[in-house]
């Protein structure tokens, strides 16, 4: 999949919106996961129109853990296939139940990337 033009600022803004309850879709359904899988629309360029919107899938416990697990441009992909949703749910389960020490290890090994943000 090609790289999108999403900025860290845009991604963080989407988390703030989701934490406030502004969620485009909860795609958790009956998937086996410890938290939620949420879909959010993000426009990478102001004034470019709906054709340039991207979608991000976020695994979250609706508290302190928010992971961007998948992103795509609307023009390149429609809805997620059932097998994709299952894979994302399994990934969410792992990330949301992972110990802080294990997450730190993943960050150090560059398996995960943390978006710089102000800790509250």
Q: What is the pLDDT of residues 71-119, one digit of tens each?
A: 888 778 878 888 998 899 888 889 999 999 999 999 999 888 888 666 5
pLDDT value of residue 119: 56
Predicted confidence (pLDDT) at residue 50 exceeds the cutoff of 60: no
Per DSSP, what are the bridge partners of residue 101?
Answer: none
Give CA separation, 46 vs 3, 5, 6, 53, in Å: 18, 12, 12, 10
Burial class (CB in 10 A: 0-12, 13-18, 19+), 48: exposed
Return the domain boundaries, the chain: 8-108
Banded pLDDT at 42 (limits 50, 70, 90)? confident
Tokens read off for 19: 């934490």
Q: In the structure, how many helices (H) and strands (E) does the chain have?
A: 3, 4
Average pLDDT over residues 41-56: 67
Query: Is the whole model's pTM more than 0.85, yes or no?
Result: no
Q: Which of 9, 12, 60 is nearest to 35 (CA)?
A: 60
Q: Which of 64, 73, 72, 71 is nearest to 96 (CA)?
A: 64
Predicted confidence (pLDDT) at residue 5 exceeds the cutoff of 70: no
Average pLDDT over residues 26-47: 75
Predicted confidence (pLDDT) at residue 44 exceeds the cutoff of 50: yes
Read off the DSSP letter of residue 12.
H
Contact indicator for 44, 6 with CB cutoff of 8 Å: yes
Mean of the per-residue pLDDT values of the chain: 81
């Amino acid at each position: 999949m090609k790289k999108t033009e999403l900025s860290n600022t845009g991604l963080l803004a989407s988390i703030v919106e989701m934490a406030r309850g502004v969620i485009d879709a909860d795609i958790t359904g009956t998937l086996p996961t410890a938290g939620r899988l949420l879909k959010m629309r993000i426009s990478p360029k102001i004034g470019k129109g709906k054709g340039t919107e991207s979608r991000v899938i976020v695994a979250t416990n609706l508290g302190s853990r928010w992971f961007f697990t998948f992103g795509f441009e609307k023009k390149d992909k429609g809805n997620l296939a059932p097998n994709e949703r299952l894979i994302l749910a399994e990934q969410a389960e792992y990330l949301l139940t992972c110990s802080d020490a294990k997450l730190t290890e993943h960050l150090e090994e560059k398996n995960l990337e943390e978006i710089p943000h102000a800790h509250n």
